[in-house]
């Protein structure tokens, strides 16, 4: 497993609604890939100010715990669509407490079941959100802003190998989907 896949301040990510998870997995198994984690339960605590300043600025702050892998992350996204930074932390409960001590409030707590795979330089996640559906995210992180368009084209080509098209793209964030559910 390579943590190099998750380094960079930009993330090019295309999210697709998956209609047939078994077909998706059959195609994945026909490729050369590595498994990072399978069927991990991820819990995300999203924070904002009481007057929703982060939401208004198109930013999110979250603390993520992944089990059984034990990975814990502090994640900041936005304001640009491709802006995403994450760092490993050792104590998620303390990080949540620190945010609350700074005046942030829990906006929402979400859970999903996630598997993460590496296909070449890209990482693919296969997510199940209870009562919402199955999704695949094709992504890469980079510090090189000039490569974002090139990576987007390469990710679209990879998604096409899974028979996913522009009609399958999901433009809403998981946070928005959970808030609307």
Residues marked as catalytic:
46
* d(C-alpha 154, C-alpha 95), whole Å: 36
Strands 72-77, 105-119: pairing is: unpaired
**Structural contact between residues 118 and 36, judged by C-beta atoms closer than 8 angstroms:** yes
Determine the Cα angle at 109 with ends 107 and 112, to 5°: 140
Between CA 124 and CA 2 the distance in angstroms is 13
Cβ(163)–Cβ(22) below 8 Å: no
Question: Nearest Cα to 46, choosing from 114, 130, 105?
Answer: 105
Q: Tell me the β-bridge partners of 77.
A: 60, 84
Written in H, E and C, the secondary structure of 50-71 is CCCHHHHCCCEEEEEEEECCCC
SS3 95: helix
């Amino acid at each position: 497993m390579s943590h190099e896949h998750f380094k960079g301040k930009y993330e090019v990510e295309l999210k697709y609604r998956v209609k047939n998870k078994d077909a998706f997995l059959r195609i994945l198994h026909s490729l050369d890939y590595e498994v990072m984690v399978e069927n991990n339960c991820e819990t995300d605590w999203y924070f904002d100010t009481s007057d929703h300043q982060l939401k208004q600025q198109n930013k999110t702050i979250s603390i993520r715990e992944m089990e059984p892998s034990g990975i814990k992350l502090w994640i900041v996204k936005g304001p640009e669509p491709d802006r995403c930074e994450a760092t490993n932390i050792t104590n998620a409960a303390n990080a949540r407490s620190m945010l609350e001590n700074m005046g942030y409030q829990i906006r929402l707590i979400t859970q999903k079941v996630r598997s993460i795979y590496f296909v070449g330089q890209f990482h693919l996640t296969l997510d199940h959100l209870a009562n919402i559906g199955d999704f695949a995210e094709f992504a890469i992180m980079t510090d090189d802003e000039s490569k974002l368009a090139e990576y987007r084209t390469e990710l679209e080509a990879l998604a096409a190998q899974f028979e996913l098209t522009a009609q399958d793209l999901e433009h809403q964030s998981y946070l928005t989907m959970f808030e609307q559910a």
